[in-house]
Structures are given as structure tokens and as C-alpha cells.
Chain A
Amino acid sequence: MRHSRNRKLPVGLAAIVAVLGGHALAQTAAAPSAAAAAPSPAAPEAEQEPVNDTDGYTPPAEGAGAPSALSIDGYVDVGFAKAQGDGTSFAAGDQSIPADYGVDTFAPAVNSRGDVASTNPNGRFVNGFLPRSAGIGGNASFLLNTLDVDLKYTPAAAPLMVFSRVQFLPRFTGAGDDTRVYVEQAFGRLVPFDSQEFAISVGKFDSVFGIEYLDNEANIRTGVTPSLVARYTTGQSIGAKLFYRIQIEPLQSAVSLNVAATNSGNFVEALQPPDASLSGEPVGTGRLGYELNTRGIQAKLGASGMVGPRNDQALQAAHQTAYGVDARLAVAGLYLNAEYVHVDEGVGGPKTTSLGSFPLSSAFNARGGYVQLAYALPFSVGALRKLTVYGRYDRRHAWFEGYTPITVDRFVGGLRLDLWEAIILKAEYLDNRELAGAPRVANNVFTSSLVYSW
């Protein structure tokens, strides 16, 4: 029985569109028009896809829009969200410990970072399997999800690009307001051979696993929230990365290889801290991709893997392994993205995440994936440039050693409006379901996002 669920998407959506839409219009005059640097994967024109493909998102390096060696880009992501219940996935009456082992704490996501409405366990012990929290509980609230500032420098005399992405993240912590400054990316990328699509990146950069990391940023992501498996694949980390692609022109195809050695692999920073290697041994990751690019159809397939010590503890023998497959298909304005991920972590020593220290790093396993379908309609009516409707189905089966395996899924439906070239308005509803293992809780979410880019 899910009689307690609130399914008022149309009303809420209409309300938020009305409220935020007016605000967006008021900002139009001051909005710069450089938002073309932030294309969407759901964009109808192929040339508007992210230029770096599996090499991680960065703005275009040159061309008509790159007038100087130094460029400053960024975006502001303003949200409005309302989660059911207390904003967590913790069930009333459940006193089992750790509180975060028997439920999916990542389910009530409210923004593109995967922050949830709340992670407050009401005093119960938790062991670090937690996302970041927006701190709004079950209240409807406006949010400043991200203030993002990107700096890019491309010296004319060297085959080098230096890129940094600094984000300001204002949050209510329960004990007051706090704004975290987060260096999400900072790397240099060297292209040693003019004749080859071969690049070396060193620093803190995007994941190379799967495809969802390409949607990390709010100004890129088709919808608002990441999938239920994004926590395993979309984290940035520090290390070195090699990217190589070879074009096979007769077949209108390309094959690419993206490999990296980093501190923490692909887990999001809330689960594994990327800024230092806790074990002293790097985590290897990679993706082998195939692309078919014809005039009518674009198809991309990939297989990814990760192996190395888990970076939420110090023992090198405590390994984490993951593999996954992904696919993207774009045809006639229809965009299909799908990904499957298989994750195993061995038991390790005392746990440290970006959220704190915890007694144990338990053995853990997860299998899951998502399928997303989006349809983009190009417009040129007033401010409206594009309207995209999308839906996504997520499913995740996971268990900590000795705990009841839990199976959850999620239906996501949403609408996105691209206004002029600088504003994106998105709204979506997350229907979270506990299918097995975890107690049922009211943790559905309505959330929205207004993104200004420059």
C-alpha cells in the first residue's frame, strides 16, 4: 500500500513554473548569452552535445566563442523542493543500527548534486553511507543549490588547457547556515601529439566511468536529480587520466579509451574522499567506448571498470571493484540513455568519508541502473528555445554484509524549458519505492531547478 504518497505533480509543477518563471523573466535583460557553452545531452542538434564526450565536461577550447586565452564561465542553480515525510528515508519506529544500512538514504534527492532533503537520523547512529543534505526536511523550500565559477586558460603557445571549477554551496546544517566552497575540478590537460586525439589530464577531474558523470552539472543535466546509481559513478577525483580516440571514417564510427588512476575512483565525495589517498594505492578506472555518428542516428556504447582499494579506509587489501555498461541513442529528437552498474566492496578498516569518521567500512554490494528517455522539441517562440519532456526509471539492489538486501526503484518524470540561451527551468517528480528489504516510507520528492548560465 502506498496510500500515503502525495501525487500532486501537476499542481506543484504549475506553481513552481509560475513562481520561478516570473523571476526568470525579470532576470533576462542582464543574462549574458554565452550559455551556448553549456549544452544539454538532450539537445536536438548533434553539434550541441558536450564537446568532450567521455573526457569529462569542459567548455569549448576555441572557436568563435573563445575570444581570449582566459575565460570565465559558470552558472547559478536555484531550486525549490518539497519532500514527503521528514525528508529522509528513515522509517518511523525503526531502531536498527546503523540507521543508514537498511534504507536508501540517497532516494529523496532534490538537486543535480544528489543532495537529499534531509539525512537527520534523529539521534540514531549512522555509519557514513550518506549523501549531502540540503537540510530542508519535509518542508517546501527554496534552495541555492550551486553557484559555480569556471576558469579556463588556454595559452596560445602550448597544447595545454588549465581548467578549474569552484562551487559555492550554501546549506542549512541544522545548526545554522553554512556555505561550503568546493573545488570540484582543477586540472591541466596536455595534448602531446597534434595528429592524435590523445590527451593527458592531471589534477582533479571528472569520472571516466559510464556516462552519467557527463550530466553532473545542473546546466548540463537534462533533468534535476541524478539516478540511484550515480553515487557510484559520478564522483570527481585527483590523479591522472589518459584519453584516446580513433576515428574510423569509413564506418562513421569512433572508438575511444579513457583510463585514469585516481585517489578514490568514481564514488561521490560524500562516500569516498577524493582529496587524498587513504590507502596509498591508486584506484584504476576506465571506459572503452564505441560511437556511431550518422546524419540520422547517433549511438554510443561503452563498458567501464574500476578496481583498487576503497578510499574510505586505509587498508590496501580492502578492494572495491565495479563494472558497468552504458548506451546512448539519439534519433529524431529522442534521446535514450541507459546504464547498468555492478559494485562490490570488501570489508576494510575504520571508515572516513568527506562527512566524517565512522567505525567500520562494511563489505557492500550494489547492482543497479537506469533508463532515461527524453524528447526535445525545438522552439523559437518568444523566449522559449526548447521544451524537453523526460522520464527515467532507476532501480537499485544493494546490501551490506549481514544486513537484509534492499531493493528500491524510482520513477522520475519531468519537464525542462530552455529560455533564450541562458536560462533553464526544470521541474520533476520522484516517486521512490521500497520494493524489498527496506521499510516503506513516504519519501517522494517534487523538485525544480532554475539555472542561469554565463
Chain B
Amino acid sequence: MRTTEVGAYPGPVRLLSRAGACAGLLALGACAQGPAPPAAKLWTLFDVESLYAAGAPPTKALALDAGLPGGIAIGHMLDGAAVYPRPAVADHYGATYATTEVWVGYPQVWMQPMYVPITGWVDGVPQKLLDGSGAWHPVFSVGPASGFYSPFWQAVYFTVPPGTTTATYTTARQILDAGFPLAAREGWTISIVPADVTSPVAGPNGGTGWLNGAKVSFLDFGQRLFDWDPATNVVDETPLFVMVTRDANGNLVGPYLPTVGGTGPLGTHAGPAPEDGQQPIYASYWRLYTVEIPATARVFTDDALQQALDAAGFHDLGLPVDPGYANVIGRVVLNPGCTIFDPLASGAGACQYLDSQAAVENDLDPGAIQPTAVTVTCPFLTYQDGIPVAPITQ
């Protein structure tokens, strides 16, 4: 039988001293270190449904401790089974958007490939392979359980032979292994959602696609809602401004006011959004920035909003508005003594609102605008005081 090195040493060393040395050597405790950075976290509507199913109330907040006072209430993502139309303003008009994903601690989010079978190209337009009901069924490459999931997809078209059905190719591996020529084109915002999730506003197209051979449901918000770095596929951020103020103790708090949608990168004082026909195109991927309301500013209120501000201890922040201008309820006005309430008005007496990126960046000290660690998917549902957004599909 083989012997080992242990026990082979001659040694007049006393056992006690050896034991002491051993104890010293073994005293390798865990060293205390500074606090660990928070784990990056992604919440999807699957997570929100799970929270509801576990008994969480609609006021349950996500993304706490990420620089966003109060976080994001799950009731502001899903209202029952419908995405919640969160009030906002953009380019001086009222708008609403859905919140389908929330990221915390992600410095960036990547676009992923979405494989789309087509029958061919007509004048440069891909002809999607449709089923009997006229629906397309894209093949997604990453599922919402992954930390790298995002609803920002690059359509990768591949032309299928005759006889192919929408159920023939259901995994990315099948498509890559088949060796089809692949044509990577435009970006789509399509959230994979629980099957029962709907939109309360006409526009987003529900449908089903494939993920690893299984059917998944989605809400399709259309093309052209984001740009990306072609070298890295990192999705560009657009600022979404969240109005905050300070409580009696000096802490920042976030009264529930309309957010302000930006139209360009932070600091660009960007003007009106680009348009598709008559419809403005607002981004779908946003980083939240807090905007501290100046002490001299006020918020136009109706009775309900004033009561909410009163309950939160911000009675003086509210300023009742002329009932004829309900569209400015919730907006921050920098000159509360103004007499012309129309958001599009200008000149003497006109109210000066924080109702666009340009207004926020032009009229406030840059120090009042602070980034959070929160980014969101928030495709617009309505624009210009209630017009439903029609997803761009071509």
C-alpha cells in the first residue's frame, strides 16, 4: 500500500506548539467588507402577476432604494389583467403609457434577435409568414425569466420554403442550424407577457410567438420606438422625468404626478418628437430622472389631486385650476400667478409648465435633475390628450 508524505517527518516539535500553530492557521475567518453593491434586478409583468398572486396589494412598490422615491407601485403596471395607462405629459400634451418592464441597476439593456419567417420580399418589404387568421408568430431568442431579457428585438428575417407553416420553426437553434440567409433589420418593442394581459387602450397588438419551442403571448407596441448602438446592440436611453419634492424632514418624496417624457438624450434640450405621419414617435425605453420641484412652483390640481396632496402633507403644493383646463391638472407650473393656462400659449401671462424635456432642461437648474438606477419599458398608449397610439408595423 502506498504511503503518503504525511507522517513522514521527523520532528522534535512539541505537539502543543503544533496544535497552537494549527489553530492559528485555521483562524481564517471571514473578513468584514463594505456593503455589497445591489444586485441588478429586472421585473416583468410575470413578476407583477406573481406578486399579486402572492397577495401583494397594488401599492406594493418595486425599485425601492434605487434613487426613485416611493419606487414604482405594481398597481401602476398592472391593473387587474390590463396594463395601467400611467399619466404623463410630452411636448405640452397629456399622454399615457404602459409600464411593462422595470430594471434596477442595469447600466445598459441590450436588443435581442427575434427571428421572423417570411415568404419573400416585395419592394424591400418583408412578407411575413402568416397563419390562417392572418397573425405572425415570431421566434424569440430570450425569455422573460432571464436577466438579459428585454422587449427590444431586432427583427431577423429568413425566407422559408413553400409549405412552411408558422409552427415549423419554433426555436432559434432550428433556424440557425437550418442555415437560412438572415436579414437583420428594424427594432421592435414587443413585451412577452402573461397570456391574460391586455391593453385598456386600442393600439398594442396582442399575439403569440415562440420561445424555445413553446408558445408565448406578447403585446406588440410596434417598430421605431428605440435606437441602438449597432456595434454593441445596446439600446439608447431617453429621459423620463419624475417630479419629486421634499417633505418636512427634507427627504425627497414623489407625489403621484404626471411624468414628463423626453424626446432626446439627456441634456440635449430636445424639441418635439419625430413623427410618423401625424403621430409623434415617443421612445419605449427610458431612464427615470427625478426632478425636484422648485419651492416657488405649484401643481395645478382638481379636487381629487388636492386631496391626495393634502393626505401626503403637501397641501401648499397644490393650486386649484380653472375647470376649463382639466388637461393641465397635475402639471408643475413655475409661475403660479399666470393667467393664461393654455399649455401652447406663450408671452405675458402665459403659464410656464414643466411639460416637455426642453422646458425641464431650460427652466431648471441642472442640479435639480438627478438620475436614478431605474430604467423602464414605457411605450406610449395615448398622445395629445388622449389619441390612441397606432403601433408602426411597416
Contacts and interface: CB of A to CB of B under 8 A. Distances in A.
Contacts of B8: 61-62, 191
Interface string B97-110: 00000000111101
Contacts of B156: 95
B122 interface: no
Nearest to B176: A439
B7 interface: yes
Interface in B1-44: 1-2, 4-13, 15, 18-19, 21-22, 25-26, 28, 30-33, 36-40
A191 B9 CA distance: 8
A360 B42 CA distance: 11
Contacts of A123: 231-232
B147 A402 contact: yes
Interface string B155-182: 0100000000000000111001100001
Contacts of B112: 95-97
A266 B279 CA distance: 57
A404 B140 CA distance: 11
Nearest to A49: B2
A401 interface: yes
Contact of B28 (A154, A193, A240): A240
Nearest to A318: B39
B148 interface: yes
A362 B148 contact: yes
A388 B323 CA distance: 93
B36 A349 contact: yes
Interface in A301-352: 313-316, 318, 347-350
Given A159-B11, A159-B13, A437-B173, A403 B233 contact: no
Interface in A86-107: 91, 93-98, 101-102
Interface residues of A, number: 82
A199 B26 CA distance: 12
A181 to B, nearest CB: 25
A195 B39 CA distance: 50
A371 interface: no
A421 B259 CA distance: 77
A393 interface: no
B6 A196 contact: yes
Interface string A416-444: 00000000000000000000111110000
Nearest to B233: A97
Interface of A is mostly: loop
A194 B146 contact: no
Interface string B105-127: 11110111100000000000000
Contacts, number: 193
B143 interface: yes
A126 B184 CA distance: 20
B232 A362 contact: no
Contact of B22 (A192, A245, A247, A249): A192
A32 interface: no
A208 B270 CA distance: 60
A125 interface: yes
Contacts of B372: none
Given A243-B6, A316-B36, A404-B173, A97 B148 contact: yes
A52 to B, nearest CB: 7
Given A52-B4, A245-B4, A402 B25 contact: no
A52 B5 contact: yes
Contacts of A356: none
A156 interface: yes
B177 A440 contact: yes
B186 to A, nearest CB: 14
A61 B4 CA distance: 9
A208 B212 CA distance: 37
B293 interface: no
A33 interface: no
Given A202-B28, A402-B145, A51 B176 contact: no
A168 interface: no
A55 interface: yes
Interface in A154-183: 154, 156-161
B10 A156 contact: yes
B205 interface: no
Contacts of A154: 9
A438 B176 CA distance: 9
A200 B2 contact: no
Nearest to B35: A314
B154 A95 contact: yes
Nearest to B12: A157
A161 B231 CA distance: 53
A199 to B, nearest CB: 4
Contacts of B143: 402-403
Closest 7 CB pairs of A and B: A402-B146, A402-B145, A314-B36, A192-B18, A159-B9, A439-B176, A280-B33
14 contacts: A51-B4, A91-B176, A95-B112, A96-B112, A97-B111, A159-B13, A191-B7, A193-B15, A194-B7, A197-B7, A252-B1, A402-B146, A404-B171, A404-B172
Given A190-B18, A240-B26, A280-B33, 14 more contacts: A51-B4, A61-B8, A91-B176, A101-B148, A127-B148, A156-B10, A158-B9, A194-B7, A197-B7, A240-B28, A359-B40, A402-B148, A404-B173, A437-B173
Interface of A: 46-47, 49, 51-53, 55, 58, 60-62, 91, 93-98, 101-102, 123-125, 127, 154, 156-161, 189-200, 202, 239-240, 243, 245, 247, 249, 252, 254, 261, 277, 279-282, 293, 313-316, 318, 347-350, 359-362, 400-404, 436-440
